[in-house]
Structures are given as structure tokens and as C-alpha cells.
Homo-oligomer: A and B are copies of this chain.
Amino acid sequence: MSLLDRLSFNQITADPLSLDQVISGCVAHDIPYIAVWRHKLEGDAARAASMIRNAGLRVSSLCRGGWFSAPTPAERRERVADNRLAIQQAAELDAPVLVIVSGPANGQTLEDARTTVMDGLLEILPDAEKAGIVLGIEPLHPMYAAERSVVVTLRQANDIVDRLASPAAAVVVDAFHVWWDPEVIPQIERARGRIGGFHVSDWPVPLPGILMGRAMMGDGVIELRRLRQTLEANGYTGPIEVEIFNDEVWTTPAEDLLPLIKQRFLQHV
């Protein structure tokens, strides 16, 4: 099996493109997997699922559920309902994993927000179990703690998965978010058997921006191959998503971008 058989194109890497365009690009360039974002479904997961299936592609994950914390109980209930919808959509898409981005504190204290996240996950877990979808707990880089995710380390994600104690719970390892962590290797080892995904991009020096500053693999300092090999040594041989938030990447035509991704993927991951 070639490493390219595990390559997944995460839609956010080409956010300006429609799902149709991304599917055509993956087919043209022999990329077997696609990671789907919900804002690209335009409310019609069934249509997206049939397009993807007809093209012979598989879905590596659906992004994203989570975002549990909110200032009021009513809003928190809405978030839970939206996560239930996301689980249904993942099932329609044959996505094995729903990526969970916990969301920011959003008016709560950090500690309370973390409790809200745990409560929300416990509430949707039976739905995920019933649908056969894995909730993929993705810690985000701590620089997003205030705006996107109160779950910020692999240790914390492992703790959450411990508490969920279900085959429908796993961690998702995104290299950009966890590479800096002195515990990244032991926490991947700890996650053995419950690793739900691996995302790659790179950390350029200097980092040009907080959200859109990610780089193409090889244009930064992350030891991607070491992470991949550690994940494999701990049983993860599933799809590897290329997920790059970067304006320059977004404006690269697909016919140039996809060959470059394949080349860098083989060289650096």
C-alpha cells in the first residue's frame, strides 16, 4: 500500500471551490479520500453523499461538530441539537468520524466551558454509538483557546476520551495543533486504539497569521514524518487529511495545488 492510498483532501484547503470542483480534482489526481465540511453541504448531505460515492471517493471525516459552550442553557441545547444533525449527516456521508471542535468559552469561565463540552459530548454519545459514528475529539492549538476551542492538548483530549469510554470516541491528531507539545509522543502512545484521524499542514517561521498562517507540508518546522510514524506504531493506518488554512493555497488553481500536495505529502509526511 502506498502512502498516497491514505491521502485525504480536506475541503477547507480549497475553501473557494465547491464540492463538485473538489470531487473532480480528487478524481483527476487520484486522491482517494475527501474530508467534508458541513458549510459545503448546503443542507443536503444525501446529495453530497451520492456525488462522492458516484465519483468513487470515500469520506475520511465530516468537519465539524462541537462548539458546545454558549452563554445560555437554551443556546447550549441548540448546540446539542446541531451536533445530533451533524451525526446524521456523517452517517449519510459514510464518514467514519465527526470531527469535534469544542468551541471557545463563549461567556463562560474556562472551567465551566470545559464542563459544558463534556456534558455535551456525553449527551450526544448515544446518538453517535447508534449511528456508528466516531466523535473525533480534536485539540486545537492553545492560541485558539479564546476563540475556537477550550480543548487544547492531546492529554486533555485523551482525558475526555477516557471519560466517554466508548468505541464511538477517539482523538484526532492535527500536526499543526499539537507539534509543540513536549508530551505529543507519549500522548499518541496513550491514544493507541482510539485514534480517529491525522491532519497535516506545516508551521512556517515566522507564522504570518493566527488563523490563515498554516503552510504546505515542508514549508515549516513540524516533524511530520515522526508524527506519522508514531501514529502508525500505535495502530493508526487510516486516512491522512491535508488541511491547510492559507490564503495563498486557497487561490492556487486545483490543477497546480493537487499535484503539489501529493509531492509534498510523499516527501514530508
Contact = CB atoms under 8 A, between A and B. Distances in A.
Nearest to A185: B111
Interface string A164-190: 000000000000000111110000000
A221 B69 CA distance: 15
A237 interface: no
Q: Which of A143, A159, A220 has the most chain B CB atoms closer than 10 A to its own CB?
A: A143
Contacts of A153: 181-182
Copies of this chain present in the complex amount to 2
Given A142-B142, A181-B142, A221-B105, A205 B152 contact: no
A73 B100 CA distance: 44
Interface string A135-178: 00000011101110000110110010000000000000000000
A266 to B, nearest CB: 21
A146 B205 contact: yes
Category for how many chain A residues contact B: 20 to 34
A207 B143 contact: yes
B207 A146 contact: yes
A142 B181 CA distance: 8
A267 interface: no
A203 B159 CA distance: 26
Interface in A109-147: 109-110, 114, 141-143, 145-147
Given A105-B221, A146-B206, A147-B205, 9 more contacts: A109-B223, A141-B143, A142-B143, A142-B181, A143-B143, A143-B207, A146-B203, A146-B220, A156-B182
